[in-house]
Amino acid sequence: MKRYSVIWAREAENDFHNLIDYLIMNDSATTERIFEEILQKADSLATFPERGRLVPEISAAISSNIREIFFKPWRMIYRILDDQVRILMLIDGRKPLDDELMRFLLKN
């Protein structure tokens, strides 16, 4: 079975740290569990990244290798390139992706 390396983009790392900081301040009882489960989701992409769905807001004509998995309510958006999975962003799935995509595109 092919194994991919999983790499977090700087912006995704920032998203993750901001989420954990928010949880520590607002819901510290579940922070460690959420922290561990998000990292497990990310690590699981090393063995089968294609299981994530294509991001519906991104046209397949633009990119068919940008996918997402969920840890509700968060969306982990990533790109598969050769033998690498690059996590691009970790966002609140209750917010419109359009704003988050613009933020990401303007920074990258």
Distance CA 6, CA 42 (A): 7
pTM beyond 0.75: yes
Sorting pLDDT into bands at 50, 70 and 90, what band is 102? low
Which CATH class, in words, describes the domain spanning 5-107? alpha beta
Q: Pairing between strand 66-71 and 74-81?
A: antiparallel
Q: Between the CA of residue 86 and those of 3, 29, 42, 91, what are the distances in Å?
A: 13, 30, 10, 15
Tell me, what's the pLDDT at 98? 73
Q: Please say if the pLDDT value at position 104 is more than 90.
A: no
Mean pLDDT of 25-44: 88
Q: Is the distance from CB of 26 to CB of 103 less than 8 angstroms?
A: no
- Per cent of the chain over pLDDT 70 is 85
Kindly report the average pLDDT of the chain as a whole number: 86
